Structure 1
Amino acid sequence: MRLTTKGLLLIAIPALFELALLSGLVKAQSDAAEAERWAVHGQEVMHQSTAILDPVLGESVALRGAVLAGDTRFVTPVSVWVDVDRRIDQLAELVSDNPAQVERVVQVRQAVQACRQWSDRIQDLLHSRRRKDLVDRFGDLAQSDGLDDFRLQLSAFQMEERRLDALRTAAAEAARERQQTLVVAAVFGSLVFVALAVWLFTRGVRGRLALLSDNAGRLAGNEPLAPLAPGRDEIARLDLTLHETSRRLLEAERIQARFQADLARRADELARINETLRQQTQENEMFIYSVSHDLRVPLVNLQGFSKELTRACDELRAALRESSLAAQMRQRIERVVDDDIGEALHYLQTAVLRASHIIDALLRLSRIGRVEYRQQRVEVRDIVPRVIDAMQGSIRARRAQVQVGELPAVWGDPTALEQVFANLIGNAVNYLDTSREGRIEIGTTPAPPGVHSLRIFYVRDNGLGIPAIALPRLFNAFQRLHGTAVAGEGIGLALVRRVVERHGGRVWAESAEGVGTTFYLSLPEAGAPGASAAGDTRAAPEAANDQAMDGQGNLRIGL
């Protein structure tokens, strides 16, 4: 049974009992009020009957006095009998609900009429001075005046009314007693039912609520729960929910433990992989460094021997001019020396110089990973104008316009970041389209939603653009997409990516061939949490950038 049903029963049973008592109490009160009304009614009837008797008796006494005094002028006022008749009518109305009393009122009226007729006859004899007839009339008074009959009828009426009044008074007393009994029973019954309801609540609900509260405390303390509470009401269902919650929490803890163990295992694997990568990177850098130094020796030898060959060719030419060889043979030898050997020596020296530049680039790449950065607040708005001022010659030569927007401060190494912006701005200047006026824009764009610790800068140009197929390998070393446009080894963007990643950021590009290119780079903002430790990490900033990467590894942001 549901708690609401139990509560309604606990409320309904006392309510029904009290309603029954209340109806009885209302009935008893109504009976008492009715009895009191009838008691007042009886008193009014007695008063009205007395009001009828007094005038008739008074008139009879006055008439007898006039007869004894011989007062021939005595006349009973008509108003006396009119008043008596009116009072009889009122008395009949008062007892109209009692047919026996109504009959007695009729007899009283008839007796009053007889008394009036006798009084009128006596007064006529008195006025006509018929003394003898008056004496005879008074001698036969008991049979003729009807006064005794009037008294008898009125007395019988009053006796019956007294009897009815006694019954009504007794009924009123009984109603009052019943009313008091019902009041006492209502109070006592209410107390009994309240006590019974409290006992039932304590017996059937309080104990189970205590068990439920104990289970809730056990659940909060991650302790085993007590057995399920019996019943099918809300408390039982809530207790069942607590047990189900406890079971799911235990299952979640087991899953969490497995996840934590798996996470710890994967963290160990990642740490080992990172350590392996670090060692491999260090080994690669050392290998590049040593190979670069080792390659310089044969290059120096090649350059030296090429110079020796050049001097030998000069001596051979001089010897040919002084020799006695035929002119045709001498010209043939000179052509071989000048054309074939000279051209070969030129290509050899060019290749040596190219290899030397590549070795220098490899050395710069290897040194990037070993440079110690001085992390501090860097005002980008100061370093970008310095870079632009240093490139004013190239910018004027390209007839380019440079627009610089608002550039907030970031956290990093000022020298390294100045090199980054120098490479990007220089790259934009070098690859402008000479067929139209160049335009370069430097500014910032809002970070993606949920990323609050990064500043995203961009360098946009309207230059030659980059084919879509070349974007994935744009930041690889020695990648030259427009090899004939500008001299170089193709490591500038690779250096930019390495420096930005060591600052905890990322660099990417958007481009359309023939329209222009926009390079983006994300750097930790100055004062951001963990900004001082951003160097050589790709944790939060890079993960935030990875959320918005497209299929080519480029973050797509519209400007």
Structure 2
Amino acid sequence: MKLFTKGLLLIAIPSVIELVLLGVVFDTQEAATRAARSAENSKQILWQASSLVDPLLRESARVRTGIALEDPSFIDRHAVWTEFADRIALLSRMVADNPAQLARVDHMRAAAYAWRAQAGDVADALRAGRSIAWARAQGAALPPEIETVRSELAEFIDAEAQLDARRTASSSFTRERQQDALIAAVVGSMLVWGAAAIVFARNVGGRLAALGDNAWRLGEGGKLAPALSGNDEIAALDAVLHQTSTRLRDAEREQVALKRQLQARAADLTGANEHLRQETQDNEMFIYSVSHDLRSPLVNLQGFSKELQVSCDDLRAQIDSAGLPADEHRRMTELLDGDVNESLQFLRQAVGRAAAIIDALLRISRVGRLEYRWQRVNMGRIVERVLTGLESGRGLDAARIDVRELPPAWGDPAAIEQIFGNLVDNALQHLDPGRPGHIEIGALAVLPEEGGAGNASEVSNVDGREAAAKPAPRTGAATQPRTRTYYVRDNGVGIPAAYLPKLFRAFQRLHGAGTGGSAGREGKASSVGGEGIGLVLARRIAERHGGRMWVESVEGSGSTFFVALPEQPLRAA
């Protein structure tokens, strides 16, 4: 049974019982009212009956006075009979529901009017001067008609007095019954509602208490009591609680299993990180030692090449002063100026290239060991210093550089300056000579997104196409800050799609494709300088800041490099 039905029954049953009790109260009240009305009517009848004979007695005295004085004016009194007629008519209406009393009233009326007729005859005889000796002979005795009225009236009053006593007793009884019924209604109503409350407490209240106990146990993670029986809403909610408890236990078991897996994977990851750290440290030490060890042979090679050049110059001077035959002089000169000089030039270039590679390796090894000075960085000033430090011979005069509003970031100023210096230098190196160069430096607008710090989603329009700036990869919820994305955009020759995966590898200048940022044209491979580590260094610096770097490029249209840097401290400065 549903709770709504139970509630209706709990309300309807006491209400019906109360209506019955109220009906009994109203019935007893109506009976008491009728009894009181009957008792009051009896008292009115007795009062009217007690004064009914008075007009007849007064008229009898007048008749005797008129006979004695032989004056008929004492007898003919219409007012007396009018008063009697009114009283007898009122008494007749008051006892209309009592046939016995009504008969007595009619008998008294007949006797009274008979006496009236006799009194009229006496008055007529006195007016005619006839003898009224029979009246004198009657003396002071009342006429038999009036005696009849008096005797009937006495019986009438006795009967009405008995009836009044019974009605008074009935009225008292009904009032007592009314009081008893009212008390019974109040007590019964209280008992009915008390019984309803007990039923509610035992049924609905007890079930609600059991449901609340199960909810508390579910919240505390304890075992639930047995499921409630029935098909009402409380039983349905209790069934939901049991289902939830079962699912929670299953989820806890799965959580324990996942926690074990996570701990195992965390241990594996810790070991892998430690192994990677050790390998990185070994690689950096290896790079440093190799670079340091290679410097000495290179210095020797550079010195020997200079000594050979000096020796070649001395030999040429001696040949010029030796006065050799023309053919021998020409052959010796061609040998010195051709093969020997070209070999020395290639040797010097190889030594310079090897020295540059060693310097690049040292810079790469130092990137991971440098301690950054963390602070809030004014990006506008950083870019201004980068542009001021550029040489005009590197294409600065051939390109228009626009700097947009750059909000501040958090990091090391020198390292961030190196990032933008490499990106701007890269863009200048790979401008398209077929059109005026244009470089734009700015920041993407941040779109608010649910998820808080580290989940900012940024969008920018790059040369008419939409580019989505991806957030930095998470390194831990406690250390991952909200990032701001900056960009360096150029209208150079762009990068072919096939070269994009190799763009951030060390020493990958890609020749005809450029060193990232802009692709070279055919025949321009030798015009692009550098060791091919600028973008690698920039990307590693960005990652050490908790950010990332990526590129979007279309061959023939230009490239856009994105750098995501933190807006707030990644760790205590």
Q: How far apart are residue 78 of structure 1 and its match?
A: 2.1
Is 1:532 aligned to 2:572, yes or no? yes
**Distance in 2, Cα, partners of 1:18 & 1:282:** 93
Q: Do residues 387 (structure 1) and 386 (structure 2) align?
A: yes
Partner of 1:517, secondary structure, is strand
Q: Which residue does the alignment assign to 2:134?
A: 136
SS in 1 for 2:424: helix
- Give the Cα–Cα distance (whole angstroms) in 1 for the partners of residues 494 and 96 of structure 2: 124
SS for the counterpart of 1:73 is helix
Tell me how far 1:501 sits from its aligned partner.
0.8
1:432-451 correspondence runs (5 A):
432-434=431-433, 435-436=435-436, 438-443=438-443, 445-446=445-446, 449=449, 450-451=451-452
Equivalent position amino acid for 2:530 in 1: G
Q: CA deviation at 1:442?
A: 3.0
- What's the counterpart of residue 356 of structure 1? 355
Displacement after TM superposition at 1:34 (Å): 0.4
TM-score (norm 2): 0.78
- CA displacement 1:129-182 (0-9 Å, x = unmatched): 32x2x2225657999873233334444443443343233223222212322332
**Residue 466 (1) aligns with residue 506 (2):** no
Choose the corresponding residue for 1:475, options 504, 509, 512: 504
Task: Describe the superposition over 1:91-126 as per-residue Cα deviations: whole angstroms up to 9, x where unpaired.
Answer: 333333344444444433333322322222222222
Q: 1:202 Cα deviation (Å)?
A: 6.6
Shift of the 199–446 alpha-carbon distance from structure 1 to 2, 3 Å rule, reads closer
CA distance in 1, matches of 2:379, 2:452: 20
Of stretches 421-430 and 225-234 in structure 1, the one that deviates more from structure 2 is 225-234
Identity, % of aligned positions: 43
Letter aligned with residue 488 of structure 1: G
Residues 150-169 of structure 1 aligned to structure 2 (within 5 Å)? 150-169=149-168
Separation in 1 of the partners of 2:486 and 2:493? 15
Does the aligned pair in 2 maintain the 1:411–1:532 contact within 8 Å? no
Sort the Cα spacing of 1:168 and 1:451 in 2 relative to 1 into closer, same or farther, 3 A: closer
Over aligned residues, Cα RMSD in angstroms?
3.8
Among 513, 518, 531, the residue aligned to 1:489: 531
For residues 172-204 of structure 1, give each alpha carbon's deviation from its aligned partner in whole angstroms, at most 9, with x where no partner exists. 222123223323434554565566566666766
Q: Letter of the aligned partner of 1:506 in structure 2?
A: R
Query: Per the alignment, in what secondary structure is the counterpart of residue 494 of structure 2?
Result: coil
Partner of 2:545: 503
Matched with 1:554 is none
1:278 Cα deviation from its structure 2 partner:
1.3
The answer on 1:456 being equivalent to 2:498 is: no
Name the residue aligned to 1:419.
418
Partner of 1:258: 257
CA displacement at 1:271 relative to structure 2: 0.8
- Distance in 2 of aligned mates of 1:149 and 1:331: 197
**Residues 459 and 431 from structure 1, CA distance in 2 versus in 1: closer, same or farther, beyond 3 angstroms?**
farther
Instruction: Tell me which residue corresponds to 2:42.
Output: 42
Q: Distance in 1 between matches of 2:18 and 2:242?
A: 42
Given that 2:67 and 2:135 are in contact with CA atoms closer than 8 Å, whether structure 1 keeps it comes out as no
How is 1:125-524 mapped onto 2 (pairs within 5 angstroms)? 125-130=125-130, 132=131, 134-137=132-135, 139=137, 146-190=145-189, 192-193=191-192, 218-227=217-226, 241-296=240-295, 299-300=298-299, 303=302, 306-307=305-306, 315=315, 319=319, 327=327, 335=334, 338-391=337-390, 393=392, 397-408=397-408, 410-434=409-433, 435-436=435-436, 438-443=438-443, 445-446=445-446, 449=449, 450-452=451-453, 453-464=481-492, 466-467=494-495, 469=497, 470-480=499-509, 481=514, 482=520, 483=525, 486-524=528-566
2:423·2:488 contact (CA, 8 Å) conserved in 1? Answer: no
Question: Is the 2:495–2:558 Cα contact (8 Å) retained in structure 1?
Answer: no
Letter aligned with residue 257 of structure 1: V
Q: 3-state DSSP class of the match of 2:543?
A: helix
Paired residues of 1:506 and 1:523 also in contact (CA < 8 A): yes
Pairwise CA distance, 1:58: 1.7
Q: Which amino acid aligns with 1:352?
A: V
Corresponding residue for 1:93? 93
Offset, 1:207: 6.9
Asked if 2 retains the 8 angstrom alpha-carbon contact of 1:507 and 1:521, the reply is yes
CA deviation after TM superposition for structure 1 residue 391, in Å: 2.9
* Counterpart code for 1:456: R
After TM superposition, the score normalised by the length of structure 1 is 0.80
Residues 451-460 or 213-222, more deviating: 213-222
2:489–2:559 CA contact under 8 A, matched in 1: yes
Cα drift, residue 363 of structure 1 = 1.9
Indicate how the Cα distance of structure 1 residues 267 and 407 shifts in structure 2: closer, same or farther if over 3 A, else same. same
Offset from partner CA, 1:195-247 (integer Å, 9 cap, x none): 65666667667777766666555544444445556766666665555554444
Equivalent residues of 1:407, 1:444 under 8 A apart = no
The separation in 2 between residues aligned to 1:59 and 1:210, in whole angstroms, is: 91
Partner of 2:436: helix, strand, or coil?
A: coil
Give CA-to-partner distance per residue, 1:321-347, whole Å, 9 cap, x none. Answer: 9586684x8756755654455445434
Larger mean Cα displacement after TM superposition, 412-421 or 34-43? 412-421
- Letter of the structure 2 residue corresponding to residue 478 of structure 1: F
The DSSP-based 3-state class of the residue aligned with 1:96 is coil
Aligned residues: 527
